[in-house]
Every structure is written in structure tokens, then in C-alpha cells.
Structure 1
């Protein structure tokens, strides 16, 4: 009877599971060959990829089949064999086939961009459908994609219907208890899988591409949704909070700083400068996806950034600074809050992120006209709310007139138009007799890589290289326009990236893919020099305030790079789940299930070689990351009232 019930009642359910797994395996195979230059072709690794992949495909499809399994279990024999029921089953199974094939197409495009299966970035993109949809239409040949999707769906569904995979070939009589014996397995297995299995494939592979291929895209999407914010104490190596915060206070202590309290959970310090305080204006350009590797100043020979290379020669250039993450909001978090990345999504996108101690709040306290200038719509990624509630006036695309918008795409106005707006806002502040601080966020160096024609010698929309060359062109125009202004002689122009253009690689964290430029420009105020100190994006804010010569109360985790001692040098890099800490050539990566991995980093070859456990390095990493999580969750990074 068991086999008979499977063959009749659950024939459609089993057929759909088989079709889904076939699509998932085909997708995995295509992605494998797409990244053939990067994957490990070791036969044992390939066996693990497909074996683990098949398991996660089964788990994934089991979730989808719950309502169908329930239905065929509970329907009486009379109702089950009705024509309307079988017709409905064919319709719904066809819809699921279409969805599975659509997912395969989406996975290809996501893999092409990020070299990973769906993760929390995909979740974020589902929230902001307008920008993402427009970006897709501007980046890809949608009619061709839709045609191929329709063709594949029609072919698979037609074959399944012709072979009668969704309809029983015979009629048998069953009781509810007989059906429950079979149906309960389909229903209980997904719940067991939910609590028993994560999708931590990294531990089984040295190559990150193989690890990602062993995952299932749909399962990864669901996992990312559930784990968009991770409890540090539950998932990561941690120590007693009081001991951790005591260690953190030791790490944050510097010459010229003094704690205002002996309380271990208070990191407020009085920063005292020995220099004369300045009233420089500051325009901070946070440039989208500007990897250090794009600049000739860092060894690139493609001549994509002639303006930035010229600016770098006249500037204070920090050559050894690393972004904390792989998303714009993570860069914003690091630069404005000077805090290491906490697991999950950026603080910019989290609830309870109002009235924090930020770079903007320091400038506001000093009487500055403080603005966030953005060429897109700042509701995206919660940017307007974050900046608007943390010391900034928001100037986003809503404030651009038609005349001020020469060119725009899905993500916002082009960098040239954005910089003209920033200049206009600076003029306004200057005319009002107020010093100003601007955080300017660019968008042009982002897919679909479109920009105004006749600006650079690479056609708009042809790829990343053209977008890099255009953003460099716009930066050159900004500098030329700024030089003509009366406020320029007293203005620092600071250029830093939010993150690199791509974080993918063979290792779980690829350190070279976090290396970004940090440039402080104004020949009247700053002498050209190279600063080779190993440092992090969280050090940008304290360094700016150090250049201003200001004394202030600080809750920042970062330090003034210019006064850092050799033993204080370190950097933070991370994904939404993995937390990396670099000190010299030693690296520790904290991961869920309280795992930690240790490596030696070769900057010349960009290789990470596994090394033995380093307790001192681990304790420092835990102090920073656990301390950041604890202080934010307990409201202790708020600015003083």
C-alpha cells in the first residue's frame, strides 16, 4: 500500500521534487563551468559539491511541497480524483516550475555580480523593488531573458504533462490513516531540517567558490532572511561581557585620550589635541565601489583614473586602509559611526539607530552645516532615516530639479550632476556664513554602468571600466569647480570608497578585495605624503577630526591614523556573517557556531595560509566585535544628551 500511495497520491509531489532538483543541479553545473577558472576541480571536492548540493536541494524543495503534501494527504478519495483537482494541480505545479526556472535565471545574474548564492543582499534587493527592477531593465536584455524563461518553462511543463507526471495513472482506495503514514514524512522532514541543519558549507571546503556551489539558492535566501541580524553571544566566540569591555577599553586607550568614567561599559573618552583647532570645511566623497586596484597610484596600468592619480600625488594618501564590508551601508556605518561591523545587516538599516554618536554629531556640535548629499532616493537602505536622525540634513534626489539632472539611471543622478549639487550646497552654506561638512555618496560606479555620453572614451553601459573612468572624470571636474570657489582655500576634500567592486574569491574572506583608497586633498592645507599605516575604515572619522586639531568627547572605536603606534595598527573586514581581524600579517576570522580560523596573510600574493591558534589575536578580535555588539544593543553608542 505504501508504494501504491506514493505512486498515486504523491506522484505529483514527487515529480515536482524531481523537476526542482534537476533544475537546481543544472544551475549548479552551469555556475561551476561559469567560474571554472576559480573553482577547485579536485574530484573529492566536486563529489562533495554535488552530494551536499543534492541534500540542500531536497531540504529546499521539501519546504515548498508542504502545502501540496498536506492537500493530497487530507483530500478524500472522491475529491482527489476529481478532474478539477487534477487540473488545478497541473496549473500550480506549472507555476512552481516557472518559479524554479526564474530562480535559476536570477541566480545566474546574482552569481555574475557577487559570485555567491543568494544572501542578505538579495533580501535587501527584494525590499527596494523600484531601484532593483530599474537596474535590471537597464543592465540586461530583458526581452531575451523573458523569452528564454518562457521557452524553458514551456518545454519542461509540456514534457511533464505529456508524461502525466502530475496525474495518477490508476485509482486506489485509501484511508486517512494510510495517507497520514506517508504524508507525515513529507510534512515532518522540513521541520526537522529547519532545526537540525544550517547551510554552513565553508567548513568542508578550502575554496569559497566550491562552498557556494554546494548550497541551494532558495535555501540560502530563506536562511539569509532569518539571519539578517545575528546574536553575537549566541553564534560567536565570546567572553564574559565585563572582561571583554575591560579589554576593549585597553585597546581603545591612546596617548592624548582619557576615559571620562571608570565604568567598564563606558568607552567615552576625552580626546585632547595638542594642535591649534581649525575651522576647515570638509567635503567627504564616499565613492561607490572604488577599489584601490583601479587607481594607478596603487599599481593599475589601465589609466582608468588619471584625475584621481593626479589628485593622489598632491594629497595625503593612505595606502593600507581596508573597508569593513561589502555593501554601501556597511561603509557608511564604519565612516560615520567608527564602529567595527556587527554580524547581520548594517546599523544603518536597523531599528533604534537614532541619536547615535557620529562624525556628523561632532561637526554639528561645532556649529557646522552638516549635510548628506546623495544622487538617489535616500529611502533606499534606510539612508535618509539614518542620516536625518544622526546630525545630518538630507539632500537626496528629491532636491534635484529637472535642470540639475542631466543624466540619471536606476540608482540616481550621475556623479557629475551630484558633484554640481554638492558645490551648490557648499555655496549656500558659505553664503550663510556657516562652516560646512558634507557626506557625498556617489552611484555611477555601479551596474548598469551608464553615464553621460562624450565624457570618456569608453561607451556608456559597456562595463565597469567605463564607469570607473567616468567617476574619475567627474571627480576631476569637482576639483576644478571647487578650486574656483572662495571657500576652497579652507576646505578639505576627502575621497574614500564605501567598499570594493567585488569581494568574491577563493577564500572565505579575500583581504585584497577590501583594500580601498583614502585621500585627503587640498594643497593649501595638506602636504603631499604617503601614509602606509595598516588601518581601517573605522579610522577615517578620528583621522579627519585629528586633522582639524579638535579636542572632543569620543565614543568611536577607531583611532587617528596619523598618531597610531605600530602595535595599534589593525584592520577589520567582514561579510554579514564572517568577522575578520587583521594585525600585521596575522588574521583571525570569527564565524557562527563559535568557530574561529587563523591565517597568515601574504600581501604580495594575496594568499591566506592556515596557521595555528593565536589566543592574543583572538582575544583582541572578540573584544572589538563583542564589545561593538554589546554597546550598540544596549544603547551605549548614543551621543550624550
Structure 2
């Protein structure tokens, strides 16, 4: 377990360093910022390592001592290591590509991708040479596993000399650490700096992914270009200004008093907005399967904007 933890901490630190070099101009790096990035990074990495090691700790605790040197354990231990290392390899590669696109650790966008697996897999398959990448990750994982076996790092798991209480103590310790991270150490702990890049570099990708899954939110200010609130309201107020209306406040507000001499109208307006629904599924646009009878009836009886197109086509479903 120690060997896996050291490997993970080393690879995670290396990835953090590479991402820092990529975004060096934007990170506004100082010596104290460098310490903060890698200090918080180590904190989160230790939590991820504890979660990774917990299943194997359970296995070792329940494994009878007389089975330690059996063929069963000599297969299961390397398989545990291989699967864990493969997950790390895949995660680190995904983090690298995710950073190049969003300049962020995993967030709810990454979680959203898992919901639309079919479309995302198609998009990834179109963008990257998957057979080469997957084959490379399997090869690297196999080489690392062979190197650990050749160096004799797995031997301690085959000796069977560790008493049950000591193994149970290791499991209890890892469970306590994992529980502490799960309940008390939030991903937002690293988001208190003045530079977004430094905050993101201080995180751990896997930890950020599960945090995003748990919180189910995405910070609007971080991923959309903004202008000053005063300028935004000035633009909107200019667009909404009409001869028969008067703004009730001079500050950031669009509350207006509108005067009109005609008959007051009460139109029945229903706005239907659906994300990720292709027109190919609607009878209104030629589908013959009758999948959307209610929407088709609305289209027949109401106003339809046939020339509205999404400007975001970065993904297949987009």
C-alpha cells in the first residue's frame, strides 16, 4: 500500500507541476503561492490516496493469514495494483486534456459528460486516437506493475506475518482519514485565494470530480466572460428604454413604470426550453415515430421559431 501511495503522490505532484507550467503566465506565481499550491495539493492528494487504499485495506484485513502466500493472493494483489494504477493513468490523461480546454480541474462539466456517455464517447473518439491512447495506458500500467513486482514491493503482502489487529488498525486508520476528508475537508478549501488558476492547481482532479458530483453546481463567474455590473445594467437599460416608460431607480435596476393608453392585454404565453433535444426526434421536423405528440401539438397551434440555431457545437450533442 505504501508503494502505491508514494507512486500516486509523486505522479499527482508531477501532473500539478506540468499544469502549472502550462498556465504559468496566468497563475501570477510567487514563492508563497507556490507553497500554497503544492501544500493544498498534497493535502487533497493524501485524501485521494486514502480512498484508493481503503478497499485493499479491507481485503488484507479479511484475508486469512494462511492465504497470504497463496496463488490467490499473488493474483489479487497485482490485479488490485494494476486496476488502481490504470484508473490513475486514465484520470491523469483526462485531467490534462480537461485543463487544456477549461483551465480547471474536474468540475460539474466532467460530471455532466458521464450523463451523456454515448455522445461524449463519440466526441472523444473523433478527437483522439483512442486505440493508441488506451493501448499506451495499458502498456504503461503493465510496465509499472511489472516494475513493482520485480522490485519486490508486493512481497510484504505475501508474508502473512502481520497480526489481524494490526491489519484492522491500518484499516481503521484509513477509514478515519477517509471519513475526515468526506465530512470535513471540502474542495472549496483551496478556493480562497485571489487567483483562480492557483486555486484550481491546488486541487486534486479525482477529489474535485466527486466534490462536483456531490455539490451539483458550477460557478458562473469562473467560466463566463463578465463585464462590470454597472456597464451591464447601463447596456440593458438602454435597450429597454421606451418613450412610454420611466425607470424607478437610477442605480442597477430595470424596474420601470410603463404608461399605455390602450386596452390592457393578458396574453397566455408558455415558453418551452429543452436542453439537448435534437429536432430529429420531433414530428414537427419530419420524425415518423410519434415520440413527441405534446410538443408537436404545441408546434401546430402556436408560434415556432424554425431558424433558431445553437451557437455551441463543441460536442456531438451540441
Q: Please give the range of the TM-score, normalised by the shorter of the 2 chains.
A: 0.7 to 0.9
Query: 2:183 aligns to what?
Result: 195
1:38 and 1:209 in contact (8 A); partners too:
yes
In 2, distance between residues paired with 1:119 and 1:89?
32
In 2, distance between residues paired with 1:158 and 1:171?
19
Query: 1:218 aligns to what?
Result: 206
In 2, distance between residues paired with 1:448 and 1:396?
16
Task: Find out whether 1:104 has 2:92 as its counterpart.
Answer: yes
Query: 2:115 aligns to what?
Result: 127
1:113, distance to aligned residue in structure 2 (A): 1.6
Q: Which runs of 4+ in 1 moved over 4 A?
A: 275-279, 370-374, 448-451
1:138 and 1:448 in contact (8 A); partners too:
no
Query: 1:445 aligns to what?
Result: 312
Partner secondary structure for residue 95 of structure 1:
helix
Partner secondary structure for residue 274 of structure 1:
coil
Query: 2:260 aligns to what?
Result: 274
Task: Spell out the pairing of 1:2-13 with structure 2 (5 A cutoff).
Answer: 13=1
1:406-441: per-residue Cα shift (whole Å, max 9, x none)? xxxxxxxxxxxxxxxxxxx9xx97xx7x66254976
Task: Find out whether 1:254 has 2:255 as its counterpart.
Answer: yes
Task: Find out whether 1:49 has 2:50 as its counterpart.
Answer: no
Task: Spell out the pairing of 1:322-361 with structure 2 (5 A cutoff).
Answer: none
In 2, distance between residues paired with 1:277 and 1:29?
67
2:120 and 2:315 in contact (8 A); partners too:
no
Task: Spell out the pairing of 1:395-414 with structure 2 (5 A cutoff).
Answer: 396-399=279-282, 400-401=285-286
Query: 2:151 aligns to what?
Result: 163
Task: Spell out the pairing of 1:457-476 with structure 2 (5 A cutoff).
Answer: none
Higher strand residue share:
1
In 1, distance between residues paired with 2:149 and 2:180?
32
Residues 82 and 46 from structure 1, CA distance in 2 versus in 1: closer, same or farther, beyond 3 angstroms? Answer: same
Task: Spell out the pairing of 1:136-155 with structure 2 (5 A cutoff).
Answer: 136-155=124-143
In 1, distance between residues paired with 2:14 and 2:186?
23
1:78, distance to aligned residue in structure 2 (A): 0.5
Query: 1:591 aligns to what?
Result: none
Query: 1:75 aligns to what?
Result: 63
Partner secondary structure for residue 37 of structure 1:
helix
1:373 and 1:438 in contact (8 A); partners too:
no
Q: How many residues align?
A: 273
1:117, distance to aligned residue in structure 2 (A): 0.6
1:188, distance to aligned residue in structure 2 (A): 1.7
1:443, distance to aligned residue in structure 2 (A): 4.1
Higher helix residue share:
2
Partner secondary structure for residue 156 of structure 2:
coil
1:111 and 1:117 in contact (8 A); partners too:
yes
Residues 255 and 439 from structure 1, CA distance in 2 versus in 1: closer, same or farther, beyond 3 angstroms? Answer: farther
1:322-369: per-residue Cα shift (whole Å, max 9, x none)? xxxxxxxxxxxxxxxxxxxxxxxxxxxxxxxxxxxxxxxx86x15x8x
Equivalent residue for 1:39, pick from 17, 27, 35: 27
Unaligned runs of 5+ in 1: 1-12, 231-250, 257-271, 280-361, 379-394, 403-424, 452-641
1:288-309: per-residue Cα shift (whole Å, max 9, x none)? xxxxxxxxxxxxxxxxxxxxxx
Task: Spell out the pairing of 1:170-569 with structure 2 (5 A cutoff).
Answer: 171=159, 173-199=161-187, 200-203=189-192, 205-228=193-216, 254-256=255-257, 274=260, 365-366=268-269, 377-378=276-277, 396-399=279-282, 400-401=285-286, 436=303, 438=305, 442-443=309-310, 445-447=312-314
In 2, distance between residues paired with 1:99 and 1:67?
14
1:69, distance to aligned residue in structure 2 (A): 0.8
Equivalent residue for 2:72, pick from 80, 84, 102: 84
1:372 and 1:438 in contact (8 A); partners too:
no
Q: CA RMSD in A?
A: 3.5
Residues 37 and 171 from structure 1, CA distance in 2 versus in 1: closer, same or farther, beyond 3 angstroms? Answer: same
Task: Find out whether 1:27 has 2:15 as its counterpart.
Answer: yes
Residues 94 and 437 from structure 1, CA distance in 2 versus in 1: closer, same or farther, beyond 3 angstroms? Answer: same
Using the size of structure 2 for normalisation, the TM-score is 0.74
In 1, distance between residues paired with 2:138 and 2:110?
23
Unaligned runs of 5+ in 2: 219-251, 288-295
Using the size of structure 1 for normalisation, the TM-score is 0.38
In 2, distance between residues paired with 1:443 and 1:68?
47
1:108, distance to aligned residue in structure 2 (A): 1.2
In 1, distance between residues paired with 2:55 and 2:317?
44
In 2, distance between residues paired with 1:277 and 1:121?
48
In 2, distance between residues paired with 1:169 and 1:70?
13
Residues 132 and 48 from structure 1, CA distance in 2 versus in 1: closer, same or farther, beyond 3 angstroms? Answer: same
- Higher relative contact order at CA 8 Å, sep ≥6: structure 1 or structure 2? 2
Residues 144 and 255 from structure 1, CA distance in 2 versus in 1: closer, same or farther, beyond 3 angstroms? Answer: same
Partner secondary structure for residue 118 of structure 1:
coil
1:70 and 1:187 in contact (8 A); partners too:
no
1:278, distance to aligned residue in structure 2 (A): 11
